[in-house]
Structure 1
Amino acid sequence: MTKPVQPTMTAAYYAQCVISFAVAIGSVAIGLIFLPVNPWVRAFLAVAVLYTVTSAFGLAKCVRDRQESSNMSSRVDQARLDKLLAEHDPYKVDSN
């Protein structure tokens, strides 16, 4: 049996994700700094952005955990099937 290939994350993809996140947060921070509004409104928007970012990280973690748990259960099922197939001998005669 062939094992399913696990996708790997390249260094370039990781760097792109980190740079993209930094640019997004930086541009929002610059926009908030130069926004011509009351400091209380600016502070409210900054807290809203931080809450959105932390919620996005939480959601990403939940999605990752759910995917890992489904992959783990499928690997356990595959291991059980492999064990059954390894123990099965079609030429064995039952002595009953």
Structure 2
Amino acid sequence: MQTQQDSPAWLIQTWAAFVISTSMTTAGIVNLPVDNWVKGFMGMGLAFSVGSTFTLAKTTRDLYEAKKLTARIDEAKVEKLLSQHDPLNLK
């Protein structure tokens, strides 16, 4: 089984987008003309959103990989049954 390899350009683009978007949102929150408690609330919302996004992505990936493994196990069972089946066996 071959594992999927992401290109270095994709990895750089992904991390750059994450860092830039998080930094710009943080800068926007810091520079809002509101009280500090509002900024704190929005900062906590940003932190929670980022954390839950990572958790969702990991959970989705884990479910996908588990389904692939289950499918491979089922395929191996079918292949074993087919290899043991002899249609000319007249016993």
User: TM-score interval w.r.t. the shorter chain?
Assistant: 0.7 to 0.9
TM-score for both structures, normalised by structure 2: 0.85
1:27 positional shift: 0.5
TM-score for both structures, normalised by structure 1: 0.81
Match for 1:22: what amino acid? V
Flag structure 2 segments of 5+ consecutive residues without an equivalent: none
Aligned Cα RMSD in Å? 1.9
CA distance in 1, matches of 2:5, 2:73: 21
The yes-or-no answer on 1:17 pairing with 2:8 is no
Residue 80 of structure 2, aligned match among 55, 80, 83: 83
C-alpha spacing 1:11/1:90, structure 2 compared with 1 (3 Å):
farther
Which residue is 1:38 aligned to? 35
Q: Which has the higher helix share?
A: 2
Equivalent residues, number: 91
Q: Percent identity?
A: 31
Match for 1:83: what amino acid? K
Which residue is 1:70 aligned to? 67
Flag structure 1 segments of 5+ consecutive residues without an equivalent: none
Say which SS state the counterpart of residue 86 (structure 1) adopts.
helix
Deviations 1:11-66 (A, max 9, x none): 22122111111111010011012111111111110001001111111111111111
